[in-house]
Chains A and B, each alone.
Chain A
Amino acid sequence: MADHSHGSPESTGVVARPGQGDVQKFQNPGLPPHRPRLADRDPRAEKRAERQVAILFLVSIIGTVLFFVGYFLIPLDETIETLRLQNLTLGLGTAFAMLGIGVGIVHWAKTLMPDHEVSEDRHEIRTEADRADAEKIINDIVEETGIKRRPLIRNTLLGAMLLAPLPAVFIFRDLGPLPGDALRHTYWDAGTRLARDPSGTPIKASDVTIGSAFHVIPEGLSDSEHYLEEKAKAVVLLMRLNPDSLNPSPGREDWGYQGIVAYSKICTHVGCPVALYEQQTHHLLCPCHQSTFDLTQECKVIFGPATRPLPQLPIAVDDEGYLIATSDFQEPVGPSFWERG
């Protein structure tokens, strides 16, 4: 590897353009001789190709007919079988109609139209003469406007052009309201009963047996004006496990009730519902990006892309034995946002 060629490929001739008469290069032998096709030599083959093309066009006609058979003769009678059959017939009809034409034309082109390859010269994309002409025209135009000699006009125009698009941006301001503190509150409040999703019936503590998982919404959510928006923040997963397996941190000992705990179902990663509860391992898994939360460690992240634990909803039991929230979530639920803090 001693003597690497220096300089640009052109100047050293290492990378010569092919067929340029360089002694280091093979001469371009030119186009190979044309090989006549069967249909060029044999009139019977030609006739056969002609028939094949016609048959392909006939296939297309049959395909179109098949489409109409499917469209008119197969009724949509609310059963899946007829719909499947109709879809199949319409689809195959269209497929035959299209492929018949397409394959027919291509076969025609390949077998019966001339197959001599033709060479055409490339031309310069831009000739020097054109460039010179264009340059002169543009210079004349610029000169005639006088923009170079009149900086006042140029500068004010620039200023105007810079400002003019701003309204076009700001006019979109009313696309939506400002966030405010909307992301910090949910429908939950002290005393709100936990209810089953989607029926909305309240849940008694005694209903929640060990190993079970309830999908929970706040009671009365369906009366909310913004049902889906509130539900998107308020959904909760309620689980009961052996109280000994829970390890509440100081200050959160009374957030559960006899091993019943409630956690936000909205992933702290990008917001999918974390609803996969493994009742033996006590892990919660998000099906979208596989963040795994450990229920026995207050839903700490043990795998996957989430960083923060799922927020816990403090719960208790009211006089009638129903589960209630003792407050809203103590932190914003769902994915992080810049102002979250």
Chain B
Amino acid sequence: MKALSQRRRHPLAAVALLLIGLLFTGGVYALASSTNEAKAQTFSADQVDEGEKLFVANCATCHGMGAVGSENGPSLVGVGAASVDFQVGTGRMPMQMQGPQAQVKPPQFDDEQTMQMAAYVASLGAGPAIPGEDMLDTSDADPANGGVVFRVNCAMCHNAAAAGGALTRGKYAPALSGSTAKHTYEAMVTGPQNMPVFSDANITPEDKRDVIAFLETIDEQGSPGGADLGSLGPVSEGLFIWVAGLGVIIAFTVWLTARSS
């Protein structure tokens, strides 16, 4: 102990302490996340029961008793826990009103309730599970590869800079900035609304992680050239030069030709 206290002012002490702290948190985190994953796959019977109650009260009107579907909503048998976590966790479900597609809004249920409903739906039939923390860990992912995969599979709807785009008859692919890694992953495996399913046989879990790393990278770094004008491409650039560019120039021409007082 004495040796330790003597060295506590050593220049490296802070570094060592930081390392220990990081290791400790990391370890706890890893432990927690692995239990979380285990929980995601094997929900408790209690959760299933609670989930069923919530489902009957909030979802069965459209999705039918036992989630077998009705005129107003598809069957949820076999959609998996990931689908529930995505739809409810992003606020898309329950829908406020019928429309071309479900809108993002503040989630109506807390994490626990969402998990309970996910547990219930997962108990109805096998489907994609909620991804564990290790599946979302992008620390050694390759954003460049993610970019390649993203451009081939995602950019046509979500735009090359993930700024979103239009689909037919009022539907649209949303912008992806601000989407959490978990929700992005879940969207890929479940194919919400009109999005196609990208199963692990299509895009491997590693590639999915790369895609998430790519999205995180471009989201964090921002645009090197200054304000990105919504990353919408030539339309916003053209609008900008006509409105702001020519606007400033006209202001100068008026000043330049006006009589001085």
A in complex with B:
yes
Interface contact B167-A115, CB-CB below 8 Å: no
The A240-295 residues at the B interface (CB cut-off 8 A) are 273, 275-281, 283, 285, 287, 290, 292
In the complex, what's the smallest C-beta–C-beta distance from A267 to chain B, in angstroms?
12
Q: Does B70 contact A (CB under 8 A)?
A: no
Interface contact A211-B156, CB-CB below 8 Å: no
B194's partner among A38, A81, A279 (CB-CB below 8 A) is: A279
Given the contacts A106-B256, A198-B148, A212 and B197 also touching, CB distance less than 8 Å: yes
Residues of A within 8 A of B193 (CB): 280
Interface contact A278-B168, CB-CB below 8 Å: yes
Chain A: CB-nearest residue to B194: A278
Residues of B within 8 A of A285 (CB): 167-168
Interface contact B198-A212, CB-CB below 8 Å: yes
Chain A: CB-nearest residue to B217: A80
Interface contact A303-B196, CB-CB below 8 Å: no
Interface contact A80-B195, CB-CB below 8 Å: no
Residues of A within 8 A of B222 (CB): 80-81, 84
The A294-341 residues at the B interface (CB cut-off 8 A) are 303
Q: Does A88 contact B (CB under 8 A)?
A: yes
| Interface size, chain A (Cβ < 8 Å) | 46
Binary interface encoding of chain B residues 6-47 relative to chain A, with 1 for a CB under 8 A from any of its CBs, else 0: 000000000000000000000000000000000000000000
Interface contact A277-B260, CB-CB below 8 Å: no
B152's partner among A209, A210, A215, A287 (CB-CB below 8 A) is: A215
* A214 vs B152: C-alpha distance when bound (angstroms): 10
Binary interface encoding of chain A residues 38-53 relative to chain B, with 1 for a CB under 8 A from any of its CBs, else 0: 1100000000000000
Given the contacts A80-B222, A80-B224, A115 and B197 also touching, CB distance less than 8 Å: no
* A275 vs B168: C-alpha distance when bound (angstroms): 13
* A65 vs B72: C-alpha distance when bound (angstroms): 67
Interface contact B260-A111, CB-CB below 8 Å: yes
Interface contact A278-B191, CB-CB below 8 Å: no
Q: Does A35 contact B (CB under 8 A)?
A: yes
Given the contacts A277-B196, A279-B195, A115 and B260 also touching, CB distance less than 8 Å: yes
Binary interface encoding of chain B residues 151-167 relative to chain A, with 1 for a CB under 8 A from any of its CBs, else 0: 01100110000000101
* A307 vs B153: C-alpha distance when bound (angstroms): 26
In the complex, what's the smallest C-beta–C-beta distance from B225 to chain A, in angstroms?
6
Interface contact A287-B165, CB-CB below 8 Å: yes
* A211 vs B190: C-alpha distance when bound (angstroms): 9
Interface contact B260-A212, CB-CB below 8 Å: no
Interface contact A303-B152, CB-CB below 8 Å: no
Interface contact A110-B225, CB-CB below 8 Å: no
Q: Does B234 contact A (CB under 8 A)?
A: no
Interface contact A88-B194, CB-CB below 8 Å: no
Interface contact A88-B226, CB-CB below 8 Å: yes
* A197 vs B259: C-alpha distance when bound (angstroms): 65
Residues of A within 8 A of B202 (CB): 196, 207-208, 212, 214
Q: Does B201 contact A (CB under 8 A)?
A: yes
Q: Does B177 contact A (CB under 8 A)?
A: no
Residues of B within 8 A of A110 (CB): 256, 260
Given the contacts A84-B223, A84-B226, A276 and B167 also touching, CB distance less than 8 Å: yes
Given the contacts A84-B222, A87-B226, A278-B168, A37 and B261 also touching, CB distance less than 8 Å: yes
Interface contact A39-B196, CB-CB below 8 Å: no
* A206 vs B196: C-alpha distance when bound (angstroms): 16
The B213-236 residues at the A interface (CB cut-off 8 A) are 221-226
* A213 vs B222: C-alpha distance when bound (angstroms): 30
* A287 vs B155: C-alpha distance when bound (angstroms): 10
Question: What are 20 A-B pairs with beta-carbon distances under 8 A?
Answer: A38-B261, A80-B222, A81-B221, A84-B222, A87-B225, A91-B226, A106-B256, A198-B148, A203-B201, A207-B199, A211-B196, A212-B198, A212-B202, A215-B152, A273-B156, A276-B173, A280-B194, A281-B194, A287-B165, A290-B168
Known: A197-B152, A211-B197, A279-B195. 5 other contacts (CB 8 A): A37-B261, A79-B221, A80-B222, A281-B194, A290-B168
- Smallest CB-CB A-B distances: 3 pairs: A207-B201, A213-B196, A278-B194
